[in-house]
Chain A
Amino acid sequence: MKKVRKALIVFFVLYLLTGLTISSCFAGYNNISMTLSLDRKEATAMDSMGMVVKISGVRSNDSWPVVKGLESFDVVQIGSSSRIEVINTTFSSAIEYNYMIQPKEEGTYKIGPAQLTIDGKTITSNTENLTIIKPSRSSDVDRGEIFLSTSLSSNKIYIEEQAVYTLKLYNQGGVKLVSLSLPETEHLILKQIEKPSEYQSVYNGKTYQVLEVRYVLIPSKEGTYGIKPARMSLNVMQPRHGSGFGMFDDPFFLSSGSISKNVASEPLELKVLPLPAKGRPSEFTGMIGTFNMKASLEPAKIKKGESATLAVVVEGHGNVKRIPDLKGPVQQDIKIYADQPVFEESVDSGGIKGLKTMKWALVPEKEGQYEISPLKVSFFDTQKQQYRTIETSPFYISVLPGAKEVLSPSSVAPEAKQTNNVVKKEIKEIGYDILPVHDSIKDLSNGSSLQNRNLMALLLLITPFLIYLLTFLGLKYGIKSDKAMAAVRIKKAAGIIIQQCRKGKICSGDMISELRNYLNNRFGLDLGSLTAYEADNILKSKGVSSETAYKFKDIILELEGAVYTGKGNEICSLAEKIIEIIKKVEKELR
């Protein structure tokens, strides 16, 4: 039975896990997206390029996507692949469709979007731009099976402007790269952009496999530079034929070996120009490249005391580290708090790209309509070859009255407030002076000395203590009045006789004396002897009930009986009765 229960638990857990897995897989499929990418942005008409269309969020698909903009290309479908990934416990799947495309003519093309219909839903991808340029003239010369070629996007650039340095290794297969030595020139910095790409190209009528690596080149000083050749060490696989007997002539049995080969590119020349002085704006900070600026103010309508966020983004290609931290707008009646600017740098096919985001919190102190003055930034535009100043458009912010006026002394500012339809003005200090003299006749009272030792106060301090002390001592040690003594005697009368009775050693004769003493003490009497009838009368006169007085009388009679019968010296047997009656008397007397 236990085993069955265990098996059920295991089955239940597995069922849950499987359910969760499947549900998470399906959860991933809900977000289907498609992206189109090219391995290059620029190529010659002789080159072939790789194109990938990736559909994320599906596991299988029978049909290929339709890609627009490929009319001027020869397209070959290479194949497709699918994969499932687990990223942060989330399942994701994707299918990649690979193409090889070759342009038919030069020009600029917009490739895409790719489209695909899955379960009646059409998915559309992004588009990519591709520029097809003329092949270089050097293609007239036959350069053998392997050669290295380098080129610059421009031979004449401005200081700190970016140029693209492209390195291409042409080969006809079986090449393994060992090392690459890039040219090192003082004041020129090379930085790789993008991963190396491989494609097929035709050079001088021959088909080559091309390995292309692109770098961004940044000059830090003006002048004319000779860029030395780039050098590459390679291992080239070469077929080694056998002795030519029988079956060994079969290509399957051909063996091969590798030989080392060094190749070098042609040297290049670069002219670096200084920035023109003409038209240089005063606020120019040295930014060179192509930049743009975006800005937003949200929300545009707020209540007084609330904050709106002004965000300005400067982005572009060039010496992006020179993007300045802009000073926030200055606006009366609006407090402006700047955030720490955020700078991001990346590389893409256009070179080094930068993006700086600057934010300010705007807190209006008064209601009304405000125009936020635009923010400007100047740079040298390398495309237009001139200085440009870009600026944000002016923003307008509408400030409504605050929801609730909170009056606090610390926040008091010299400004007007509108409460209950009455315009109240904060108090503004205009002048400063001391307050006047105290001239009332009351102010002429005789003051006490600075170190006041007031006798009356001292008396008040000491006298109560002394009175208490004397009283306390008097009560404790002694001086008692007759009245007080009598009161003590009354209080203690019952206690004494009860105590005697409890001792149990008192004889009947003495007990009569004790009862007499009790009445004497209790009622302040001075009886020398006591008869039963006297006791009865006394008790009744003092307010004791007749019944109790009668019982008291009976006890005395019994005691007298014992005395008169010769048993006066014997231990009294009425002790308990006497205690009871004394308590009763005391109770009735209260």
Chain B
Amino acid sequence: MRTFGYVTIIAFISLFMLIAAGLAQTSGYEETFYKANTAYRQDRFQEAADSYAQLITAGYKNGNMYYNLGNAYFRLDKPGYAILNYERARILIPRDADLNFNLKYARDRIQDAIEEPQGFLETAFFWVGSFNFKELLYCFAALNLFFWGILFVRLFKKTEWTYYASMILFILWMITGASSGLKWDILSTDDRAVILEKETNILSGPDAKDTVLFKLHEGTVVHHERSEEGWSLISLPDKKRGWIKDGALENVIENK
């Protein structure tokens, strides 16, 4: 019995230490965040950018962090990196007014005029762009719960109201399910990449000796099809294609 008491005390102490360590770590990141914000306000943008990047690496991959990092790069006159991080932020916080304003402003400053055409599904499911995947998934999960719940009730009580409720829930369930599926597909197939160099040549092949087909400028969003030996094949909405050095662009979806 006494042994049990010791074990219990040791367990409690261990748990307390773990929590304390976690809290200490959290307060450390809070301090980094505070320092980053202070650096930004005091025009030490490189320091701010490094701190925001550190937080993202540490797991704080939320829209606000990407947005702040984009702002810091913008102040550092790196519109390519700014747009890259704004685009990453937009995947997570698509309705954020500040983000949309800054992204539009940054896009207005880039040299290449490229309009991304909207597909049929994106037009039909126009609301999908205004929600992140998590929101759509939870919405679908909630409706899924209600839908199967009403069907469950109908196993025992087939009344008129349960019939109509099940019909309405079925329609909503279908819409949110399709929306979630579409969003998942968009994210899974998102091959966008941002040009990070001031000006870069797009070649006809993965070799520096190949013909220069056209030039792209910093901040332009392209589609990254594949990579080969340090070169990436990109395409534009107007069907132009060509090869670019790997370091001259970065994918919007990380680790892709």
Main secondary structure of the interface of A (DSSP, over half): loop
Name the one of A435, A438, A450, A472 contacting B92, with C-beta atoms under 8 angstroms. Answer: A450
The answer to whether B81 has its CB under 8 Å from any CB of chain A is no
Instruction: A15 to B149: give the CA distance in the assembly, Å.
Output: 85
Q: Are B59 and A448 in touch, CB under 8 angstroms?
A: no
Q: C-beta contact mask, A432-467 vs B, less than 8 Å → 1, else 0? A: 111111110101111111111010010011001101
Scan residues 451-493 of chain A and give those whose CB is less than 8 A from a CB of chain B: 451-452, 454, 457, 460-461, 464-465, 467-468, 471-472, 475
Q: C-beta contact mask, A410-437 vs B, less than 8 Å → 1, else 0? A: 0000000000000000000000111111
Q: C-beta contact mask, B54-68 vs A, less than 8 Å → 1, else 0? A: 010001111111011
Name the one of A447, A461, A467 contacting B61, with C-beta atoms under 8 angstroms. Answer: A447
Residue on A with the closest CB to B105? Answer: A434
Considering only CB atoms and an 8 Å cut-off, how many residues of chain B contact the other chain?
Answer: 46
- CB contacts (< 8 Å) of A472 on chain B: these are 155
- CB contacts (< 8 Å) of B68 on chain A: these are 437-439, 443
Q: C-beta contact mask, B64-88 vs A, less than 8 Å → 1, else 0? A: 1101100110100000000000001
Q: Are B71 and A436 in touch, CB under 8 angstroms?
A: yes
Query: How far does the Cβ of B247 sit from chain A's closest Cβ, in whole Å?
Result: 22
Name the one of B37, B134, B155 contacting A471, with C-beta atoms under 8 angstroms. Answer: B155
Scan residues 307-337 of chain A and give those whose CB is less than 8 A from a CB of chain B: none
| A434-B106 contact, Cβ under 8 Å, with A457-B141, A461-B140, A464-B148 | yes
The answer to whether B137 has its CB under 8 Å from any CB of chain A is yes
| A438-B64 contact, Cβ under 8 Å, with A444-B33, A451-B188 | yes
Of listed A432, A436, A444, A468, residue having the most chain B CB within 10 A: A444
Instruction: A344 to B188: give the CA distance in the assembly, Å.
Output: 69
- CB contacts (< 8 Å) of A467 on chain B: these are 148, 152
Q: Are A450 and B61 in touch, CB under 8 angstroms?
A: yes
Instruction: A468 to B155: give the CA distance in the assembly, Å.
Output: 9
- CB contacts (< 8 Å) of A452 on chain B: these are 133-134, 137
Name the one of B92, B134, B152, B188 contacting A468, with C-beta atoms under 8 angstroms. Answer: B152
Q: Are B91 and A450 in touch, CB under 8 angstroms?
A: yes
| A439-B37 contact, Cβ under 8 Å, with A450-B92, A460-B142, A471-B155 | yes
Instruction: A301 to B162: give the CA distance in the assembly, Å.
Output: 67
Query: How far does the Cβ of B250 sit from chain A's closest Cβ, in whole Å?
Result: 14
7 contacts across the A-B interface (CB closer than 8 A) = A439-B33, A444-B30, A444-B62, A448-B92, A451-B253, A461-B140, A471-B152
Apart from A434-B101, A439-B68, A443-B65, list 8 A-B contacts with CB within 8 A. A436-B71, A437-B48, A444-B64, A447-B62, A447-B92, A451-B253, A467-B152, A471-B155
- Minimum-distance CB pairs A-B, first 4: A447-B62, A464-B148, A443-B64, A460-B141
